[in-house]
């Protein structure tokens, strides 16, 4: 018997769904009680971050970058306004462990090995021990630290410790990664190399990243959008879309497109400064 040819189905073209919002911030203000007068750390901030974007927050010291990151992470309450993280309240998002957070200084436990540090959030998630170890080893390899599993944090350089922190934040696969000046304390060469690794990682996995930095070059190299902020009160002065391609090499920093974008960020920073 001759088999009937199977009907060939037409390729169905489904329209690409618009990316969901990772973070929505509406009229957000944070006021800290100060010694003399209240400090308006954030005033009327509106910002929507879509899934898969790499957003940098840049601005002078005290403009509220860390505060914005901390309210998103539910480490600080809003004084007024609204905020959603992965369509949840920041508190629910924290409970659901839907983000990773990398601090300015690598906050590793000195009595735990590198491997045990990276395994910790996975253990808290209640994963099987073998699975925790497998994922932790894989994450360490990704940030170029295979072979350092048994070392203790104090046996590593600052840059390597920061890479352990990144491996730890990525290990439980958060859709959203928040990074507060993670490379600020590092020398230029280490910083460049971690920038390249982070950019690579982002391009491969398209996680949403919110990244705080003081460096114009770092913001321009890494971001899909740059949010320029100014202090007293902390607010957004400009949001700049990056025209740079998704795939970036350090050599791109010498291109006219890069220089033009860096110039635009510098101008926005100066405008924010002159407003006062």
Sites of contact with ligand ATP (CB under 6 A):
32, 39, 41, 59, 61-67, 234
The position carrying tokens 């290990």 is 171
Q: Tell the smallest beta-carbon distance from residue 77 to ligand ATP (Å).
A: 11
Backbone angles phi, psi at 50, to 5 degrees: -85, 155
Shortest CB 102 distance to ligand ATP, Å = 14
Q: How far is the C-alpha of 128 from the C-alpha of 122, rounded, in Å?
A: 9
Q: How far is the CB of 267 from ligand ATP (least distance, A)?
A: 19
Q: Which is nearer to ligand ATP, 64 or 121 (CB)?
A: 64
Please say whether the dihedral angle defined by the alpha carbons of residues 244, 247, 248 and 254, taken in this order, is positive or negative.
Answer: negative
Kindly list the distances between the CA atom of residue 202 and the CA atoms of 53, 107, 180, 196, 207, in Å, as whole numbers in the listed order: 9, 22, 16, 10, 6
Cβ closer to ligand ATP: 30 or 140?
Answer: 30
Rounded least distance, CB 65 to ligand ATP, Å? 4
Taking the complex as a whole, how short is the minimal distance between the CB of residue 219 and ligand ATP, in angstroms?
A: 13
Closer Cβ to ligand ATP, 30 or 166, answer by number: 30
Which stretch of DSSP H or E encloses residue 274? helix 256-274
The encoded tokens of residue 30 equal: 């944070």
Please report how close the Cβ of residue 35 comes to ligand ATP at its closest, in angstroms.
9
- Two tokens at 203? 């391009």
Q: What is the dihedral of CA 103, 107, 113, 114, to 10 degrees?
A: 10
Nearer to ligand ATP, 69 or 170 (CB): 69
Q: What angle do CA 149, 153, 221 make, to 5 degrees?
A: 90
Task: CB nearer to ligand ATP: give 63 or 118.
Answer: 63
**Residue with smaller CB distance to ligand ATP, 137 or 273:** 273
């Amino acid at each position: 018997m001759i088999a009937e040819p199977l009907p060939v189905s037409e390729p169905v073209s489904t329209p690409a769904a618009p990316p969901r919002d990772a973070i929505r911030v509406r009229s957000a203000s944070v006021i800290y009680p100060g010694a003399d007068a209240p400090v308006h750390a954030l005033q009327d901030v509106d910002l929507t971050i879509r899934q898969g974007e790499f957003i940098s927050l840049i601005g002078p010291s005290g403009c509220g970058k860390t505060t914005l990151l901390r309210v998103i992470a539910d480490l600080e309450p809003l004084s007024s306004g609204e905020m959603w993280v992965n369509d949840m309240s920041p508190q629910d998002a924290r409970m659901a462990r839907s983000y990773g957070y990398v601090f300015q200084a690598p906050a590793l436990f000195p009595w735990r090995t590198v491997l045990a540090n990276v395994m910790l959030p996975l253990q808290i998630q209640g994963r099987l021990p073998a699975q925790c170890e497998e994922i932790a080893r894989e994450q360490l390899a990704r940030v170029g630290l295979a072979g350092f599993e048994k070392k203790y944090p104090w046996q590593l350089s600052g840059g390597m410790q920061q890479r352990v922190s990144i491996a730890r934040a990525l290990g439980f696969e958060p859709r959203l990664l928040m990074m507060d000046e993670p490379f600020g304390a590092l020398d230029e060469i280490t910083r460049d190399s971690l920038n390249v690794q982070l950019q690579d990682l982002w391009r491969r996995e398209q996680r949403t990243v919110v990244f705080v930095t003081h460096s114009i070059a770092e913001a321009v190299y890494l971001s899909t959008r740059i949010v320029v902020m100014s202090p007293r009160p902390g607010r957004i002065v400009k949001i700049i879309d990056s025209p740079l391609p998704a795939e970036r090499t350090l050599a791109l920093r010498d291109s006219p497109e890069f220089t033009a974008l860096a110039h635009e960020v510098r101008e926005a920073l100066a405008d924010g400064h002159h407003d006062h």
